[in-house]
Structure 1
Amino acid sequence: MKIIQFTNEGKQKIGLLEDNHIIELSCSVIEAINSSQIEKFKKDSIYKIEDVKINEPVLPSKIICVGLNYKDHAAELKMDLPEEPIIFMKPPTSVIGHLDNIIYPSSSKQLDYEAEIGIIISKEAHKVKKNEAEEFIGGYTVFNDVTARDLQQKDGQWTRAKSFDTFAPIGPCIETELDPMNQKISLKLNGEIKQNSNTQNMIFDAYELIEFISNIMTLKPGDVIATGTPPGVGSMQVGDTVEVEIEGIGMLKNVVE
């Protein structure tokens, strides 16, 4: 099922996305992704998706991102495969939703897109084993790891380049029933395909990432793990439209402002 946050008549609501309409739910996002009986939360209110504003599906306490996690991306860069996941973080203030604008910072001259699948944590995870990891996953979403590439190269570390406001587009929904091991992932810039791969090309899969990260830091409900990007990373300009699509979840669309 697809869980979505939206605004209608100035009020933020939670809903179940089915085809082109939303059924309102009387629960939180975390309750929804943890529920095995979503029917008990359904309300009578139904909305057409075009009549509401879609919001970010979750507000994480932290976003943990993974660098160089696709074999085809490593091959593109002519780099050896890492022995352990390379991780960094984005602040929750960088989060925006579907159809929100990405702001091009004046301090950067190269703004890049990175299509990724995001893992949504459903309950507190501390020192989780790989074979237990699935029970801590509430679902998956679409993520764009926006990066000021010139600042990343200038600084020699990644915090500034990854952390500007609007640099973590996420959405439009959380899909609770998905096989993370074999999903198509693609990105279009102004309608032209720039990235096109499959999650089966990941070096470290979703469960390995949860084991690795939860043995470093405790993951809280609603936290997001952005699992790395496939080959084809490139630059965006003001006015560009970027669309990240993951099979089984949907399409996340943003415009650069």
Structure 2
Amino acid sequence: MKLCRFGALNAERPGLIDDQGRLRDLSDVLDDIGPDQLSEDIFEMLNGIDVEALPIVSGSVRMGAPIAGISKYICIGLNYSDHAAESGLPIPTEPIIFLKATSAISGPNDPIIQPPHSSQLDWEVELGIVIGKTAQYVSEDDALDHVAGYCLMNDVSERTFQLQSTQWDKGKGCDSFGPIGPWMVTKDEIRDVHNLEMWLDVNGARMQTGNTQNMIFKIPEIVSYCSRYMTLRPGDVIATGTPPGVGMGIKPNPVWLHPGDTVQLGIQGLGQQTQQVVKHGS
């Protein structure tokens, strides 16, 4: 199933996307979609409800991040060998972990806000893992038992900030740099998560084309590896890396985002996002 949250910022309501692509209001069934609603029991209950009896939300509506109360936004760097090559960096021998501030989280179609002093604003389409059950020192064989589902993510990056030190966090964690959604798809609905087409356009021009089959480290290994170094809790999200085609990697002249630009991205089965770039304070 496809679970989402919709409505004004900080007042989102739980929703479900039905088989016809219509948004249904789950407010009479769930208080929200967050850590407490990501259990198999909740999913089983939702599978048993009469979807046709749920109210249809019509008209234009803002989509929020599909998960409330995310405690950790974890990222895996350079997880596609061709992206590592375009970045001029060696292929990693084990997953590279960094964190994005949870204050960066935004809805899938909310604007990307360019910070003051930013000059190298970039994009990264990524598959996100949503943790559904606490994971600590889990094996690769058991890792998927701790996954609730998957979502689309844009790891927006400010390369000037990112490359000022060996730590990437400040170039990745600015407000609005973590669009998630439009929905979370439960893992039972994805036949092969390691064979999903992914793409990103800037102003209508295709910049990234890839497939999750080209990940260096697959999802069971990523979840198991992260759980060795931090307890993964329900609602935590893990961005699994991006294919080639980021602005920084374009030769000989990198391409950066500017106010007025439009970014569109999608992953097969996980929906699409559209973001407008705006200047801070505008």
TM-score of the aligned structures, taking structure 2 as reference length = 0.85
Task: Provide, for residues 192-251 of structure 1, a one-character-per-residue CA deviation record: whole Å limited to 9, x for no partner.
Answer: 110001000000011100000001000111100000111000121111111110001110
Identify if the C-alpha distance between structure 1 residues 85 and 49 changes in structure 2 by more than 3 Å, giving closer, same or farther: farther
Task: State how 1:1-257 maps to structure 2 within 5 Å.
Answer: 1-7=1-7, 12-18=12-18, 19-25=20-26, 26-27=29-30, 28-29=32-33, 30=35, 31=37, 34=40, 35-40=43-48, 44-48=53-57, 50-59=59-68, 60-176=70-186, 177-178=189-190, 179-234=192-247, 235-257=256-278
Q: How far off is 1:71 after superposition?
A: 2.0
**Distance (whole Å) between structure 2 residues aligned to residue 83 and residue 50 of structure 1:** 48
Change (3 A) 1:159 1:251: same
Pick closer, same or farther for the CA change 1:79–1:110 going to 2, 3 Å.
closer
Change in Cα spacing, 1:50 to 1:233, as seen in structure 2 (3 Å) is farther
Verify the 8 A CA contact 2:67 2:235 in the aligned structure 1.
yes
Sequence identity, in percent?
A: 41
1:74 to partner: Cα distance: 2.4
8 Å Cα contact 2:75/2:98 also seen in 1: yes
User: Deviations 1:48-84 (Å, cap 9, x if unpaired)?
Assistant: 4543221110131010101100022123345432111
- Once the two structures are TM-superposed, the CA of residue 39 in structure 1 deviates from its matched residue by 3.8
Secondary structure of 1:54's aligned partner: coil
Deviation at 1:16, TM superposition (A): 1.3
C-alpha distance in 2 between matches for 1:32 and 1:222: 7
Check conservation: 2:104, 2:174, Cα contact below 8 A: yes
Q: Provide closer, same or farther for how the CA distance between residues 125 and 41 of structure 1 changes in structure 2, counting only shifts above 3 A.
A: farther
What secondary structure does 1:170 align onto? strand
Greater fraction strand? 1
2:252 corresponds to: none
Q: Which amino acid aligns with 1:254?
A: Q
Does the aligned pair in 1 maintain the 2:14–2:25 contact within 8 Å? yes
Q: Which runs of 5+ in 1 are unaligned?
A: none
Q: CA separation in 2, counterparts of 1:80 and 1:99?
A: 34
TM-aligned CA distance change 1:91 to 1:185, over 3 Å: same
Compared CA separation, residues 213 and 63, structure 1 to 2 (3 A)? same
Contact 2:24 2:57 in 1 (8 A): no
Count of aligned positions: 256
Query: Cα–Cα, structure 1 residues 228 and 222, in superposed 2: closer, same or farther, change >3 Å?
Result: same
The RMSD of aligned alpha carbons is 1.9
Structure 1 residue ranges (4+ consecutive) displaced by more than 6 angstroms after TM superposition: none
Does the Cα contact within 8 Å between 1:3 and 1:33 map onto a contact in 2? no
Give unmatched runs, 5+ long, in structure 2. 248-255
Write the letter of the residue equivalent to 2:264: E
Counterpart residue type for residue 223 of structure 2:
I
Structure 1, residues 146-185: CA drift from partner, whole Å, max 9, x if none?
Answer: 1110111223321211111111011100011222211011
SS at match of 1:213: helix
Whole-angstrom CA distance in 2 between matches of 1:108 and 1:138: 36
